[in-house]
Amino acid sequence: MLKHGLTFYHKLDLSNPADRAYTVHAPEILFHKARQLRRQEFDLACRERAEALGARMLHGLADQIEIGAGGAPHRVRATVDGESIEIRARWIVDATGRKRMIGKKVTKYIRPEKQRSTFWFRLKNFEPFFEHLEAHRRRPWQFDPWLTTHHFLGRGYWIWCIPLELGKNNLCSVGFTYRPDLFGRRIRSMADFLAQVDRDHPVLSEMVRSGTVVDTQMYFDYFYYSEQLYSEDGWFLVGDTARAVDPLYSNGISMTTFQVGQIAEIIERQRDGTLKPGDIASLDDIGRWIMERAQREVTQQYEIMHDPFQACMRRYLNVTGWFNGVLPLWWNGFLTTPEGARLLLRLFRDRDADAESLWALAAEAAAAIGPPYDQQGFDLGPDLDAVLNLRFDCARKDVMKAVARMFARRRYIRRRLLAMNGNKHLGREFPRLAGEIIRPLLLRLLPMLRPAVFAALRPPLRDQYLRWTGPERDVPEPEIPYGGRLVQSAAPEPVA
């Protein structure tokens, strides 16, 4: 089923259960669409594709795993079709999820102090919340707004609502994710869930009561990440074996996609004899850097999730970096090629002080417009459609132009936030504004200054790269939207 990205619902007065007014934020339209997956069908398709490429599928259970060192093969004792067999391999990938069957043997795991817990369930035969919600937005959308992942935010928590089936027998997934140290209690049952949501988001609790709960699940304090992802001994940790993610931005599968490209590059270079000392460490470092930084930003966001404007601006900053920086760099091979990874690790610091200064500006702007908040106050701030880069699938010659625009769009956000507070802090922010002018100029020079790095880049999706970087790059015709009670801003601002 089609998924038009993510939509966020910020309640204008979270303290008032009777208030149904939300400021709702989503791009006007995305170029690249996603689809919800049925895991069983997807896994079967992946197996069939692997077999078509020459892989041999063995259906069984691993009983014992021995990790080789110094070039020695790995050994797996497994039960396949009722018989015990031994498999030897030069490379071994741990995709056993949270069991971490290999990961626990080869590396250590870190459990951050600021943990995460979640309670979720499937709901069927329900009435969607749209008809009972007053949603304000900057401009009309050009897609069916039900076909997204919906996010509702509260104090120390957020809720997802993911449509899975449409029509008379509709189905959705609903989940409640929270930081226990901030939220202060556990959600263990539907009664716990409804008690909290009745207070903050009754439009959701009414939707739940209109349908039938299919099943419930919970997971407490599940956050962790590994100290190492890959080894020259030929073992690799991927997906939940490498780290657990907060699903706020639905980027768990994105991180796994990055890793698949890295692992393929390492194995291909080892087979060809072109792997150099430090190559594996560089890809390990860039992989862990992106994962840990992304999750650290989400962890910090819980502290202001109840503030509609600050939470909204944190997300704007996130998508500015994701669509203008991370995705164009990944598409062109910077995250999956050792030469590109080393360059990025030299260019970008682990702590982003410029972004943190924008967090402070957002807090000052929030205080200038509320509480109480209204849509007119939000319309004074930055525009989501002005900071997105819909065509992150750019050609190599244009990738640094895209990354340079990330800093230009940060400058745009900074200027809009300053203006919301009467430019009182312009002098304080001037050095950062200047830096956001100078850095784009320097980035555009990199292809000339580091030609060997750009020549070594290999896009992870090479066939798609050749097709999508061609001249036919028109945005598809938008679908007719379903509006419900969505309310357009009285004076929509043109995109900069």
Q: Which of 481, 490, 299, 303 minimizes the C-alpha distance to 378?
A: 490
Q: For 456-492, what is each residue's pLDDT tens digit?
A: 999 999 888 887 886 665 544 444 443 334 444 444 3
- pLDDT of 38 reads 81
R_g of the chain, CA atoms, integer Å? 24
> What's the CA gap between 340 and 449, in Å, rounded?
13
- pLDDT tops 90 at residue 104: yes
Q: For 226-281, what is each residue's pLDDT tens digit?
A: 999 999 999 999 999 999 999 999 888 899 999 999 999 999 999 999 999 999 99
Tokens of 171: 């189905």
Q: How far is CA 304 from the centre of its chain?
A: 19
Mean pLDDT for the stretch of residues 371-391: 95
Q: For 64-84, what is each residue's pLDDT tens digit?
A: 999 999 989 999 999 999 999
Q: Which of 306, 290, 304, 217 minimizes the C-alpha distance to 257?
A: 290
Secondary structure (H, E, C), 376-424:
HHHHCCCCHHHHCCCCCCCCHHHHHHHHHHHHHHHHHHHHHHHHHCCCC
**Residue 352 backbone class (left: φ over 0; alpha: ψ -120 to 50; beta: rest):** beta
Mean pLDDT for the stretch of residues 33-45: 85
Q: For 181-206, what is each residue's pLDDT tens digit?
A: 999 999 999 999 999 999 999 999 99
Domain ranges of the chain: 272-488
- pLDDT tops 90 at residue 1: no
Tokens of 456: 């070594």
- DSSP H/E element including 266: helix 252-272
> What's the CA gap between 84 and 441, in Å, rounded?
62
Q: Which of 162, 223, 220, 157 minimizes the C-alpha distance to 193?
A: 157
What is the amino acid identity at position 311?
A: A
What mean pLDDT is reported for the chain?
Answer: 92
* pTM as predicted: 0.92
pLDDT level of residue 349 (50, 70, 90 thresholds):
confident
Handedness of CA 388, 390, 395, 397 (dihedral sign): negative
